Structure 1
Amino acid sequence: MHLIHTLAELRATLASLPTPRTIVPTMGNLHEGHLSLIRQAKALGGTTVATIFVNRLQFLPHEDFDTYPRTLESDCDKLRAEGCDVVFAPLEKELYPEPQTFRIQPDPAIADILEGHFRPGFFDGVCTVVMKLLQAVQPTHAVFGQKDYQQLAVIQRMVAQFAMPIEIIAGPTQRATDGLALSSRNQYLDDTARQHATQLAAVLKATVELVQSGERNWAQLEANAMAQLNAQGWQADYITVRQRSDLQLPVDQAGALAPLVVLGAARLGSTRLIDNLEFVV
């Protein structure tokens, strides 16, 4: 496995490795969810490139950029065990040698809602770093996890609108045995919070069941779900049912609904968790 820190070395190394070439962008602190994406990438053959970079541009001033776990050595051990071919782990000054005054501004209709509403500028930062990484690696495929559902949708739209010759592949959300979606931020939870963390997935599942049983008052459904979660000690940002295609509210067309997803984001103590469930009616 090649561990690379500079763009020049990355390009020289990739020139000698076979295609197809698949990138798995990460911020490190890898867990089974990330490793499942590596396995998806490896199944495509050719060269698998994992990137590890904690991207300052997608953190708000009050968020955890400085304390976000950086575990490069153990990350590399895990990636090596999975057969990853290249790990690109640049320093900040390598990826941003000067202030990043050029930014990718995604479509507000999909990027300024939900996560984008509660974390203004988040998707500008995500799209900008992803565009840089895609340009650096020049992959044929890229694998992103469905746990970050809106991020996946924004990246898919960006790649399509810029006519980039890259296939975006969705990796299913990986969960602990009790249903909690795997996340690097789960390690912020103390023992008591970890026991309560499954309540988010439970509320999302209950919301799905209500829609499947005929509930169509979306505002009331969302309010009730958030109230249920808040009553258990959470601070909910949103729980909402959306169309998978554009993340807009569902439209009932002659009694039929398009494929749906319920998304939620809530804070348990100081830890903010997100989750989602796809479903059909």
Structure 2
Amino acid sequence: MNIFNSKSELKAFLIQQKEEGKTIGFVPTMGALHKGHLSLIKRAKKQNDITVVSIFVNPTQFDNKEDLEKYPQPLDNDIKLLKKVACDVLFTPSVNEIYADDIIAQKFDFDGLENQMEGRYRKGHFDGVGTIVKSLFEIVEPTVAYFGKKDFQQLQIIKKLAKKYHIPVKVKGRPIFREDDGLAMSSRNVRLTKEHREAAPFIYKTLKKAKKKFGTKNVNELEQWVEKQFKKQDLLELEYFTIADEETLQTPKVIESNKKYRAFIAVFAGDIRLIDNIGL
């Protein structure tokens, strides 16, 4: 596995690969890799000649400074995992390498996608996401980029980013990887206390029940039902539950049969914020 810390050295290496006609699959991550990340890498390897993984904890997408400081960064272990799945290239830039002396997010207009759900509760988050992903796309110039559907809103925003900025990359979403008890895999899960980890599968159980009720209750009734379920849970605090159109991410007034909908949820387990979603 080739490991690069420098943008210029990585670009020079990848230009050479492209001159040989090779396709490049790209998996951007913030490290603390789990099976979900590894599934993206395996898919990239199947569909491309060269697979590039980036590990970069991006400061401009954190609205909570403490969350940034505590974000797990087990780089040595990540490198071992990447070698096991035969990753070709790892890019691990420093903050200075990406931002130089100006750690500020670019401002983006994603046609309103950024104002829903996560954007409503985490001000500036998607400006930070757009800034780093656009920068990484410009450095790597991938053929295909792979993202997990756990961050479904982020996936839709990155598709919009590629379209609006005419970035010639195909953005693919891949299924959510879950623990045996249903909890969506996340780098933050390692920070859960034993009690919160035992309580956390309730999130997915509730989503599955909400999916069964979808169509028998209207959107407001379903949202109220979910709120009631979490009021019975001492260890989990619901931040939001919403149903949204998969394309616009807006909550529908009326359910239309020709559209796809998804339920989105954010929950605090202590001070750890967990998100999940399910297709309806």
TM range (shorter): over 0.9
Q: Is the 8 A contact 2:54 2:90 kept in 1?
A: yes
Q: TM-score, normalised by structure 2?
A: 0.94
Q: Secondary structure at the match of 2:145?
A: strand
Q: Which runs of 5+ in 1 are unaligned?
A: none
Q: Distance in 1 between matches of 2:119 and 2:245?
A: 17
Q: TM-score, normalised by structure 1?
A: 0.94
2:246 alignment partner in structure 1: 244
**Which deviates more from structure 2 when the two are superposed, residues 101-110 or residues 180-189?**
101-110
The residue type paired with residue 192 of structure 1 is E
The residue type paired with residue 211 of structure 2 is V
Match of 1:23 among 5, 21, 26: 26
Q: Is the 8 A contact 2:183 2:201 kept in 1?
A: yes
Q: Distance in 2 between matches of 1:81 and 1:221?
A: 44
2:269 alignment partner in structure 1: 268
The residue type paired with residue 251 of structure 2 is L
1:87 alignment partner in structure 2: 90
Q: CA deviation at 1:226?
A: 1.9
The residue type paired with residue 246 of structure 1 is T
C-alpha spacing 1:75/1:112, structure 2 compared with 1 (3 Å): same
1:220 alignment partner in structure 2: 221
1:12 alignment partner in structure 2: 12
Matched, 1:34 2:44: no
The residue type paired with residue 278 of structure 1 is G
C-alpha spacing 1:161/1:75, structure 2 compared with 1 (3 Å): same
Q: Distance in 1 between matches of 2:200 and 2:40?
A: 23
Deviations 1:194-250 (Å, cap 9, x if unpaired)? 1110011111111111114x212x123212202211321221111111111111123
Q: Is the 8 A contact 1:105 1:127 kept in 2?
A: yes
Q: Which runs of 5+ in 2 are unaligned?
A: none
Matched, 1:201 2:234: no
Q: Secondary structure at the match of 2:243?
A: strand
**Which deviates more from structure 2 when the two are superposed, residues 269-278 or residues 8-17?**
8-17
2:2 alignment partner in structure 1: 2
1:52 alignment partner in structure 2: 55
Q: Distance in 1 between matches of 2:65 and 2:96?
A: 22
Q: Distance in 2 between matches of 1:207 and 1:102?
A: 36
Q: Is the 8 A contact 2:60 2:104 kept in 1?
A: no
C-alpha spacing 1:12/1:164, structure 2 compared with 1 (3 Å): same
Q: Distance in 2 between matches of 1:77 and 1:107?
A: 37
Q: CA deviation at 1:15?
A: 2.2
Q: Over the residues paired in the alignment, what is the CA RMSD in angstroms? A: 1.5
Q: Secondary structure at the match of 1:156?
A: helix
Query: Counting helix residues as a fraction of each chain, which structure ranks higher?
Result: 2
2:230 alignment partner in structure 1: 229
Deviations 1:159-178 (Å, cap 9, x if unpaired)? 11112111001111000111
Q: Is the 8 A contact 2:25 2:52 kept in 1?
A: yes
Q: Is the 8 A contact 1:250 1:257 kept in 2?
A: no
Question: Quick one: percent identity of the two aligned structures?
Answer: 35
Q: Distance in 2 between matches of 1:152 and 1:163?
A: 16
Q: CA deviation at 1:100?
A: 4.4
Q: Secondary structure at the match of 2:112?
A: helix
